[in-house]
């Protein structure tokens, strides 16, 4: 049992029944020259969470937690892309259009891949999701139930969109969520801060908010702090 310092209070976590979920750390969202940058976003706000995420991943792997990755994207024929989602972007920058790193948000294209520093290890499931939430039209819930997971550590991008949607979905499924705040990123700092505040408000209405240093201290009590973990 690990006890993780968090808001609104410490949270005990049975590491045998916990998983780390890393959400949408994809090249198109994070890298200069990708889809996120083409939309005019400052991708450095997202890229800066790669190092803390790597420190979190290393700790979770060392502590024996299940590690699951997600990617947002669609089939090449767009049969799983709702028109309402496709039409929300300007023509030329829509899902399926040719982008700087291949077709935008299409599975199999270079931009859809997870950034190299956070690449899944063999055996770590990768959930391809068509929506913002990682539970919508995926087998994530089945995987977590089969593994007996009760607690989810959540990291990734973007804080107020796919991370928040997933945490809300998980909360309604009876899972305890610990959002690792400095391992989440947004193009909008004010949305990031508000999204984290909303998780832990009202006694933890959606869950807990912690940071990578606290998680590493709890999971690996004898390890020395390292660069990237916020200490
Ligand atoms: C994610 C998005 N991953 N912001 N997608 O948050 O469209």
The C-alpha atoms of residue 61 and residue 152 are separated, in whole angstroms, by 14
Helix (H) or strand (E) holding 194: helix 189-204
Residues with CB under 6 Å of ligand 1 are 24, 72, 157-158, 161-162
Q: Is 132 a catalytic residue?
A: no
- Closest-CA residue, ligand 1 atom 5, reads 162
Is residue 100 predicted with pLDDT exceeding 90? no
Q: What residue has token string 């005990």?
A: 12
Residue 223 tokens, joined: 């390890």
Residues of the chain above pLDDT 70, percent: 97
Is residue 227 predicted with pLDDT exceeding 60? no
Q: What is the mean pLDDT of residues 135-159?
A: 98
Q: What is the mean pLDDT of residues 195-202?
A: 98
Among candidate residues 53, 129, 177, 183, the one labeled active-site is: 129
| Cβ-contact 4, 208 below 8 angstroms | yes
| Cβ-contact 158, 47 below 8 angstroms | no
Range with the lowest mean pLDDT among 64-78, 91-105, 126-140, 194-208? 91-105
Residue 196 tokens, joined: 């984290």
Is residue 206 predicted with pLDDT exceeding 80? yes
Residue 158 tokens, joined: 């973007």
Edge-to-edge strands, sheet with 18-23: 126-129, 66-72, 18-23, 151-157, 176-185, 208-210
Average pLDDT taken over every residue of the chain: 95
Is residue 131 predicted with pLDDT exceeding 90? yes
Which is nearest to 182 in space by CA: 12, 11, 54, 32? 54
Which is nearest to 7 in space by CA: 228, 182, 224? 182
Is residue 229 predicted with pLDDT exceeding 70? no
Q: How many helices (H) and strands (E) does the chain have?
A: 9, 10
The C-alpha atoms of residue 25 and residue 118 are separated, in whole angstroms, by 8
Q: pLDDT for 26-62, tens place per residue?
A: 999 999 878 888 889 999 999 999 999 999 999 999 9
Q: What residue has token string 């240093």?
A: 213
Task: Give me the pLDDT at residue 228, please.
Answer: 55
Which is nearest to 212 in space by CA: 71, 66, 54? 54
Q: What is the mean pLDDT of residues 23-27?
A: 98
Among candidate residues 24, 28, 182, 229, the one labeled active-site is: 24
| Cβ-contact 11, 4 below 8 angstroms | yes
Report the residue among 21, 22, 23, 24 best suited for mutation to probe ligand 1: largest number of ligand atoms under 8 A from its CB.
Answer: 24
Relative orientation angle of helices 50-63 and 212-219, to the nearest 10 degrees: 20
The C-alpha atoms of residue 211 and residue 60 are separated, in whole angstroms, by 13
Task: Give me the pLDDT at residue 231, please.
Answer: 44
């Amino acid at each position: 049992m690990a006890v993780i310092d968090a808001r609104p209070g410490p949270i005990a976590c049975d590491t045998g029944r916990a998983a780390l979920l890393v959400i949408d750390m994809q090249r198109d969202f994070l890298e200069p020259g990708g889809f996120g940058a083409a939309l005019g976003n400052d991708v450095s706000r997202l890229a800066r969470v790669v190092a803390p995420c790597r420190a979190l991943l290393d700790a979770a792997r060392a502590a024996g937690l299940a590690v699951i990755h997600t990617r947002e994207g669609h089939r090449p024929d767009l049969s799983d892309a709702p028109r309402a989602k496709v039409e929300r972007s300007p023509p030329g920058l829509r899902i399926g259009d040719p982008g700087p790193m291949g077709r935008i948000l299409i599975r199999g294209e270079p931009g859809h891949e997870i950034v190299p520093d956070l690449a899944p290890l063999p055996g770590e499931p990768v959930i391809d999701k068509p929506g913002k939430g990682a539970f919508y039209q995926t087998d994530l819930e089945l995987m977590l139930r089969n593994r007996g997971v009760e607690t989810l550590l959540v990291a990734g991008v973007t804080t107020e969109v796919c991370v928040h949607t997933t945490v809300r979905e998980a909360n309604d499924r009876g899972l305890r969520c610990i959002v690792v705040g400095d391992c989440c990123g947004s193009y909008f700092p004010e949305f990031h801060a508000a999204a984290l505040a909303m998780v832990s408000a009202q006694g933890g209405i959606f869950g807990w908010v912690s940071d990578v240093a606290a998680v590493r201290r709890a999971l690996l009590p004898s390890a020395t702090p390292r660069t990237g973990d916020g200490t």
